[in-house]
Structures are given as structure tokens and as C-alpha cells.
Structure 1
């Protein structure tokens, strides 16, 4: 709005100030010129009265006096002469209003007496008889002769002159106001134009346009202000860019962290979060069945209680939280603004894998201890029996020695498998790939298990679909895979059952399936069959004297992974189990 702008305020201020000064000056000038015109008129009348009195005093011929008086006086004035013989003479006048002034009126008033008795000059403003207008009266005595001269003039002449003067003064004041208005707008516009530019530049700065510059139009204080504004814009741009870079760097660091980070205010509002922290909060809300509408940025009550405790005690808190089957460790630390605690920063770490690895380590130690204890105990027991001569005959000693030998082989096999598995899991497995003719290669492996399957009355079958006769594999490692899978299938299949090996080789991959009609694997144990020392149900082993170590399938999986392949298992209790592995050509 114009009245609220700087231009309007400055222009109105100048106009009001000039108008007030002109108003006071006009009043004073009007008063001065009114008094001046009246005084000038009275002085003019007094001069006329003086001239007439001199003629009356120096000349006795009345006709000459009358004729000279008519010539001396102005047309709009009226002269009255009182002679010593108590007679009056009134001159002619162009002002008809003065015709009412006659001998009777002049005799009835005290003006004649005042002039004659006191011998003083008289200057007064009188009211014309029977008229609303006034007139000026000037009276002068003629020495001591008892005569007097009176000059009358209507105030209309003075009023007319005063009106003309007033018109001129008002016109001059109006012209002054118009010029002042033009000057005020010009001056205010000239002064405020740089300010308007600065305002527009300030709005540009608020919109983030830090390259905006204010033109320097003058080199006065406003020009210096424009230079300071431009300097401020450059400094602001520099600091904003520095803050943006630091913010982006901090945001990148926080976003790339594997640990969850949450910055909290005192009232529990989450200010900054990164993706791991957001996943943690989503799991928390899901676990606690909390509706997240409207509270996405508020801390849950349980965590808010920890926050308030941290703020009050100004101490770090460490909490372990289990959400959705995962273990989290939360460290909440006070966040200071100088000496004032303005919130807290929370670091949340997913410890599920560490807990799982710790459990695996403990399970591994327990399993290894368990697996080693049995053969060591048997070695110790049977060797003590031989040393104590419990076996008397040579046949008994040979039988005990055979058991010790078998247990030592089992112990050696267990240790070797542990070492192989450790090397594989450490990534130290070495593959000797070569071109293998699959037809003869698989037949040789199947023949190796022919005796064992016949002995256990299990039918060993093979199906081959070989469109590409060769494959590039490590034959020893893949034979170890076949051996483990076929051996497990035979050991877990009852008499009269079957074990079927199916081989398919094409231009893209080699697919092998080992299927049996054994007891099957429980559904809850299927995800763990490839872990070390897995033995879901030892009762499923048909040959109790030929128990496995629980490392075979773990080794199989590592060999297949080394070939960039995949292995899977399908099983049903009482129906059988099928292991399938695929090795790609590329």
C-alpha cells in the first residue's frame, strides 16, 4: 500500500511539513499585509488632510480651496472642511456609500469635538451610517484657528487590495505546495529507489538466490549501504555453501553408516535418522503393534523414558533390545549445547550376526568336543583293556586293536574334514579345473557304491541326459560331493529302498540330483542341513556303526559355492530326500 511505503511516508512527511510552514507563513503574511494596507491608506488620507489644511490656512478664498481640494483628493475619498465660522463643506466622491456622511452626522459624533478641543490628529475606522460596511476617518486641526479637515474613505478599497494580496499569497502557496509535492516524490523516489532494490534483493536472498547484487547508484550513505549489502550477500553465500557442504558431508556419513543413528530433542522428537535407524523403528512399531500415523517423528514411550533418564542424569545409557528376532544394542549419549543438554544422540547396532557367530563358535566348540570325545574315549578304553590284559586270547586282542584302528581312522577323518572345512570357509580352497568326460566319470563313481548298495539291499539307479558330453570342473572335489550325497542317501535309506542319481548336462549348466526313498528330514531342520555338525535325528541312520561327523554337507556346500553353483534340498518325512546342485558353465 502506498501510504505504508517508504516513498509515501517520506513524501507525506515533506508535504505536511511544508504545508504547515506555508500555512503559518500565509497567516502571518495576510495579517502583515492587512495592517500594512490599512496603515498605507491612513497615511495617504493623512497626507491629503495635511495638504487641504495647508490650503485652508494659507488661502481665504473658499472657491479656490474647494477647487484645489477636489484636485488633490482621490476620487473614492470624501473631504469635509469645518471653517472657523462654523460652516461645513463636503467634497464630491465616487463612492456613493460615503454620501450619507453629512454635517448632521459629523456634528453629532465626537470626532469634531475631539479634533478641535484637543488639537490632535485622528485616525480611526468607523461604521458608515445606515450601512454594514466601515470606513476610515482621518481628522486634522488647522493650527489654532478652530477649523479642521476630515477625510473619509471606504474600507472596500482596503478590502479589495487585501483580497488581491491574499489571492497572490494563496496562489504562491499553492504553487509552492505543487512544487513541493513534485520535489517530495522526486526526492523520496531517488532516496528509496536503492532501498527498493535492496528489498527485492533481500527477497531474492530469502529464496536462496545468493548471486543477487544491488546496483550502486550513488556514493553516499545509501551507496555504502548497497556495497555493504552486496558484501553481506557474498559472505552469506560463502557461509551457506560451507554449511551445505558440511551438512551434506554429515548426511552422507550418517547415511552410509552401518549402525543406526538417531538425533533426539528433549521432548523425544527424532530430528535426524539414517536408513538402519528407520528400519529399527519400523520393526519396533510392528512388534509393539503401534499405528505410525502421525508419530513417525516421535520416540516410543519406552525409549522416551530412557531419553529422559539420560537427560536428567547426563549419563550414557546402554541397552540391549530384541525386536523381530534380531538383537540390537542401543547407546544413548547426551547432546550438549554448551553446558545445556538439548537432546541426545542414539547409536543402534544390529548385533544379530555377532550373536549368531558367537553361538556358532560355542556350538562348534561343543560339537567338536562331543565328536572328539567319543573316539578318544573308545581309544582310551580299548587301549586300557589291552594294557590290563583284559583280552586274554589273541583273537580278542586283535578285535580290540581293530576297533582302536577304526576309531583312529574316524578321528583322523574328522580332523581332516575340519581342516578342509576351515580352509574352504576361509576362502583358501584351490580348484583344479579340467575338462571331464561326464559319462565315464559318473559311471565310475556309481560303481564305487555298487557293493555297498547291494550289501544293504538298496537299489542304486542312474539317469543321464547328457547333451554336452564334457564339463569343466574339479573332478576330485565334485567326486567328493557325489560321495557325500550318495553315502548319506544309502545310510538313511532302509532295505528295499532306492537311491537315484540323475545327471543333466547342457550348454548352460550341469544339474545333478541325488534322490532317495529314505526316512526324510523334518521340515524345521531343512534350513540347517548345510551347517557344521548337523544331525537332525540320529535315529534316521540305518547303520548305527557308521555314523557321520555332520561335516559332509557343509563341505559339499562350500565346494559347490567355489564352483559358483547352487545346492538345494527337498524332503518329506517317510517319503524321502532329494539334493540338487547346479554348476553353471560360465
Structure 2
């Protein structure tokens, strides 16, 4: 809008000021010239009257005086000479409306009486008797009477009208010139400001290289120079802040501990990857759907945040989530003297606790696994030596038990050796291109009979867009065997085991889900450790025993393929094992 712009405001201000000045000046000039013309006309008439009075005093010849009066007076005026006997002589006039003075005028007009009787000069504007005609009359007393000179006021009015036209014309010209120069000056002044506004708009969009052209060398030019300098400084500081932010983000992202900054309302500002893992597990534990757009923390963390903000002191909490142990240290974050939020440092203590537990349990687990077969072999061998078994069949039966227990010890030792070799990196993968769909169908078919015998539905979903995958088929089949066998053994009658396999552009994703008894939360961190075994009361086939090394071996096989394996479980709801291996 023109009226809202600086150009419009400046132009209207200048124009309004000039109009006000011209208005006052025009009124004063009109008043001045109106009075000036009337005064000038009265002075001219008075000069004529004075000359005539002097002539009459020096010349007694009336005929000569009258002829002289006709010569010196204006053609549009009349001269009236009043003698002592009240006789009046009136000159001719070219103005027909200007009537001749009559003796009755002396009685009707007090102004004339004052000249004759009062012996004073008079200058008046009158209306001629018996007419509406305005006139100017001057009177000058003489020794024997008075002299009156009068003329029509129209002559003065015409002069005033011409003067008024000249004044109005001058005011109009001044107004037009003022309007032109006001707009020109306003545009000239505001043009650099408009360019600065456009440059400021570009800077707000991030174009810090925008420069304002320096059009003048006055204050506005200096403003443009400072604006360009401000843009350069702003670019320098923004780049410095960006570098600091990137450096800070890199440091936080590379930290092994989780870091999370929160504002007073409980909204997350900065969250690094370990903290995201903690939040995902916390959401899953509380049955809260994970939404990447949701920037609010769960209610239990809000309580800790409120405690930190109100008390302005740090708070330490320990969380047991999905079998993992997290320790959170939350401290207030200050903005001057006020607390504007908090920063939480989250450390996963699971590995430290697991290491302590493994260190305590390893010897006990190995001793337990070896003690049972050794005790059985020792007992049955003593029975044979002591001839407790009398018949050959009984001896063969005892020998068979000893043989089975020795095989069990052999399997345990072999599994330990295989696991040790894989952990030491001495196990070599025999990778080859495998047609993935028939390979998976063969594995599912292998377990279909076992699932049917146990009244369990074995289902599968394959969503594959690739035909061949590079992997070690024997070792990956060993992973499938361990996971599917565990799922069947820990699932009750009429339950299900679902095998899902899909792929993205970069990896193969496998999940094996069941609705069995589940794994206790306190045991989840240790399921991939050596000698871990589920509680026998939750095992469907109690007669089939394992060594407790299957999941540890599966984890090492997946990791040797460059992948990851994980588990999620809830008691009496089921368990889901999943692993990912890269396609490349």
C-alpha cells in the first residue's frame, strides 16, 4: 500500500505541510492586497481632491476650474464641488452607473455632513442613495465648502479579482511542484531503504552473501556500509555457531553413554543414539507406541524432571527395562539464575553387571554341566565293576548309559571349543550365493513334523525382493535350528511359531516369534551367554536337554556375518528372536 509506505508517508507529510503554509499565505496575501487596493484607491482620490482644493484657493474663475478638474480626474470617477450656498457642481464620468451628487445626499449621508460642518477629511465606502451601487468617496473641506471625489468600487473589485487569480495560480503551481519534488525526494531517500529491506529478507532466508548497493555517500550510504558489514559478521558468527553445533553433535553422538537434554515442559531437545535405544525400550515396556514425531518423555521421567527443576539438585535413578539395567543421572540446566531444563546422562550397566555375574557363574555352570555325566558314568561303571549287573543285558544297558553320557560330554566340549574358536576369530565362514527362498522352505519343512507332533502351528511369511544372498548356509541353518527348536520347546499346545523373513536394500531381516511362556525380565540380558538355560518349569519338553550354548553360538555366527541379534519377551505372552545380516 502506498499510504503505508515510507514514500507515501514522507510525500504526504511534505505535501500537507506545504498546503498548510500556502493556505495561510494565500489568506494573508488576499487580505493584504484587498486592503492595499482600497487604500491605494482612496489615496489616489484624496490626491485629486487635494489638487482641486489648491486650485480653487488660487483660481477664482469657476469655468477654468471646472475645465481643469475634468482634465486631472480619472475618467471613471466624479468630482463634486459644494459651494458655501449649498450649490453643487458635479463633473462628468464615463461610468453610467455612477450617479451625480444631489443636495439631498448632504442630508442623507452623515459622512458628507462631517466634511462640510466638521471641517474634516473623510475616506469611506458607501452605497449611493436610491441605488445598490457601491462606491468609494473622499471628502476634503475648503474655505467656502467641500470637494468630494468618488468612483465605483467595481474598479477596485476587478483589480482584487485579478490579484486573486494570480495568487491562486501561483499556489497551484507551487502545489504541483511541491508534489513532484516531494515524491521525487521521498523515492530518492527511501530507495536505499527498500533495497536494505530486500537484502534483510534474503538474509533471513540464509543468503548471507547478499549486499546492499551503496548509492549515496550520506547517512543512508553509511547505513548501507554498516548493513553489509553486519551481514559479513553475521555470516561469520553463524558459521562459527554451526561448526560448534556440529562439533557438539558429533561429540554427543559418539558418546557411549546416552545423553538427553530436556526443557521445563518435558520436551526432548537433544537425544543421542544410546539415549534413543533407552527410550525405545522404555516405550516398549510401558506399551507406548513409538512415534518419531513425539518429543515428550514418559510420565516416570517427567516426575524425575519435576523433582530436579523444583529442587535444583541432581537425581539418580536405576531402571530395569527388558532385562537391561540403566542408571540415569539427571542434573539441572541453568539459563543464568533460572533453571531452563535438565540434562540426563544414561549409562547401560548391563554389561558390567553381566560380567560380574558371568565371572561368578562360569565355573559353577561348567562344574554343574560336567558333574552330572561324570557322576552317572562313575556310578554305572562301579555297578559293572562290582558285578551288580549280573546279566549281559543289564551290563549292556549300563554301558549304553555310560556311552550316552560320554557323548553328551563330548558335545559339551565340542560346543565349548567351537564357541572359543568363533570368539577368538579362528572360525572361517564358507560363504556362497544361496537361493534364499528354497533354502528357507527346506528349513521350515524340516521342523514341520516336530511342530505337528507337539500341536503347534509353524507359520512363515517371506517378503523377499532378492533371489540370492551371500552367506554360510550351514552356520545360518544352525542359527535357524537353535531359534526354531527353542521356540517349539517353550510353546504350549495349540500355540504358534511364526517365521518372518524380509529384506531391504542393504540387509536381510529374520524374526522368529512364539506365544509361549516367555523369558523372565531378569534373565533377558543373559540369554546369549554360555550355559544359559530356561527354567525347566517353563520348558515344554522336559526330557530334551541342551547344553546352554546354542544361543551363544548363534550370536557369534550372526556377528561373524557382520549382523546383529536381539530378543524381546514378556512372561506368558511370548518371545521374539530377530537377527539381521547385511546383503553385501
Q: Same fold (TM over 0.5)?
A: yes
1:495-530 superposed Cα distances (whole Å, 9 cap, x missing partner):
xxxxxxxxxxxxx9896999xxxxx98755899999
Stretches of structure 2 lacking an aligned partner (at least 5 in a row): 377-405, 430-470, 479-483, 492-511, 513-525, 564-584
Whether contact under 8 Å (1:3, 1:9) holds in the other structure is: yes
The within-5 A match list for 1:374-453 is 424=421, 427=424, 429=426
C-alpha spacing 1:368/1:19, structure 2 compared with 1 (3 Å): same
Rg: which structure is higher?
1
Whether contact under 8 Å (1:425, 1:558) holds in the other structure is: no
Match of 1:243 among 241, 245, 250: 241
Counterpart in the other structure of 1:335 = 333
The within-5 A match list for 1:20-35 is 20-35=20-35
Q: Does 1:11 align with 2:11?
A: yes
Post-superposition offset of 1:360? 2.7
- Find the residue that maps to 1:150 and give its secondary structure: strand
Counterpart in the other structure of 2:379 = none
Q: Tell me the distance in 2 between the aligned counterparts of 1:100 and 1:563.
A: 139
Q: Does 1:213 align with 2:214?
A: no
C-alpha spacing 1:180/1:558, structure 2 compared with 1 (3 Å): closer
- Find the residue that maps to 2:202 and give its secondary structure: helix
Counterpart in the other structure of 1:388 = none
C-alpha spacing 1:369/1:96, structure 2 compared with 1 (3 Å): same
The within-5 A match list for 1:33-432 is 33-99=33-99, 101-142=101-142, 144=143, 146-290=144-288, 296-368=294-366, 370=368, 424=421, 427=424, 429=426
Whether contact under 8 Å (1:124, 1:136) holds in the other structure is: yes
Post-superposition offset of 1:262? 1.9
- Find the residue that maps to 2:342 and give its secondary structure: strand
Whether contact under 8 Å (2:90, 2:100) holds in the other structure is: no
Whether contact under 8 Å (2:422, 2:556) holds in the other structure is: no
TM-score, scaled to structure 1: 0.66
Q: Root-mean-square deviation (CA), in Å?
A: 4.5
- Find the residue that maps to 1:318 and give its secondary structure: strand
Whether contact under 8 Å (2:78, 2:100) holds in the other structure is: no
- Find the residue that maps to 1:98 and give its secondary structure: coil
Greater shift, 318-327 or 178-187, is seen at 318-327
C-alpha spacing 1:282/1:100, structure 2 compared with 1 (3 Å): farther
C-alpha spacing 1:64/1:361, structure 2 compared with 1 (3 Å): same
Q: Tell me the distance in 2 between the aligned counterparts of 1:377 and 1:285.
A: 48
- Find the residue that maps to 1:99 and give its secondary structure: coil
Q: Tell me the distance in 1 between the aligned counterparts of 2:104 and 2:198.
A: 85
- Find the residue that maps to 1:219 and give its secondary structure: coil
Q: Tell me the distance in 2 between the aligned counterparts of 1:65 and 1:227.
A: 87
Post-superposition offset of 1:96? 2.5
TM-score, scaled to structure 2: 0.66
Q: Tell me the distance in 2 between the aligned counterparts of 1:67 and 1:181.
A: 59
Q: Tell me the distance in 2 between the aligned counterparts of 1:509 and 1:281.
A: 35
Whether contact under 8 Å (1:100, 1:128) holds in the other structure is: no
Post-superposition offset of 1:166? 1.1
C-alpha spacing 1:13/1:141, structure 2 compared with 1 (3 Å): same
Task: Number of aligned residue pairs: give it.
Answer: 452
Post-superposition offset of 1:553? 7.7
Post-superposition offset of 1:123? 1.2
Stretches of structure 1 lacking an aligned partner (at least 5 in a row): 379-408, 434-507, 515-519, 543-547, 567-586
